[in-house]
């Protein structure tokens, strides 16, 4: 049987990953789009900026208002989803502010997660974002985490799920009926 190679890379060469967009690149892109003036940058940054512009995935907007973040003078917009893409530093501030506002709700993590996912794009995957929100809640309101949660939050992100107690089906207190019908 002949050996088959790997399929070609599905990502085009000019694809820009969201984690490649730094605060500086974010600012340069917004200025280029809004002022229509090419910004001074390194060849690597120029390639990323050109790819971002030519892809049609990103745009820029002025005077964006969010009830929690307040007014942001300039933001990047992910055109496919019409959601705001925040710079890395703004993402950190967003997590702080959304927890500060939602911490008094019955389920502050779910409320915070819902707010972020409804308006913004570019945050880490949901489980990592949840862990970031839990850590921020514990920072703002010490004592909200159980001892198990504190132990789990001290682990590296890759080990957190497997460290949860009672993850085996027979070890939890949920009946088969409840487990079967919990997603209805």
Query: Of 94 and 106, which is predicted with more confidence?
Result: 94
pLDDT of residue 43: 92
d(CA 179, CA 128): 25
> Which tops the pLDDT comparison, 5 or 19?
19
Q: How far apart are CA 156 and CA 174, in angstroms?
A: 28
Q: Where are the domains of the chain?
A: 18-165
pLDDT tens string 6-27: 555 555 667 778 788 899 999 9
Regarding predicted confidence, which is higher, 167 or 95? Answer: 95
Give the tens place of pLDDT for each residue, 122-165.
898 888 898 899 889 989 988 777 776 667 767 776 665 555 55
Question: pLDDT category, 173, cuts 50, 70, 90?
Answer: very low
Answer yes or no: are the C-beta atoms of 153 and 131 closer than 8 Å: yes
Q: Which of the 8 DSSP states describes residue 172?
A: S
pLDDT for 8 equals 58
Quick: pLDDT tens for 46-63: 999 998 888 888 899 999
Q: What is the mean pLDDT of the chain?
A: 79
List, in sequence order, every beta strand (DSSP E) within the chain.
Answer: 58-66, 70-78, 83-85, 120-121
């Amino acid at each position: 049987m002949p050996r088959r190679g790997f399929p070609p890379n599905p990502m085009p060469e000019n694809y820009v990953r969201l984690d490649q967009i730094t605060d500086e690149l974010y600012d340069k892109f917004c200025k280029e789009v809004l002022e229509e003036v090419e910004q001074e940058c390194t060849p690597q940054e120029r390639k990323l900026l050109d790819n971002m512009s030519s892809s049609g995935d990103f745009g820029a907007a002025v005077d964006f208002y969010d009830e929690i973040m307040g007014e942001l003078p300039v933001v990047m917009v992910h055109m496919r989803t019409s959601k705001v893409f925040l710079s890395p530093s703004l993402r950190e501030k967003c997590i702080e502010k959304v927890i500060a506002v939602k911490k008094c709700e019955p389920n502050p993590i779910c409320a915070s997660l819902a707010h972020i996912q409804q308006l913004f794009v570019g945050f880490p995957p949901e489980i990592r974002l949840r862990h970031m929100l839990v850590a921020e809640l514990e920072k703002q309101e010490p004592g909200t985490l159980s001892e198990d949660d504190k132990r789990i939050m001290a682990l590296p992100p890759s080990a957190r799920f497997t460290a949860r107690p009672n993850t085996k089906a027979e070890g939890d207190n949920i009946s088969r009926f409840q487990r079967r019908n919990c997603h209805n």
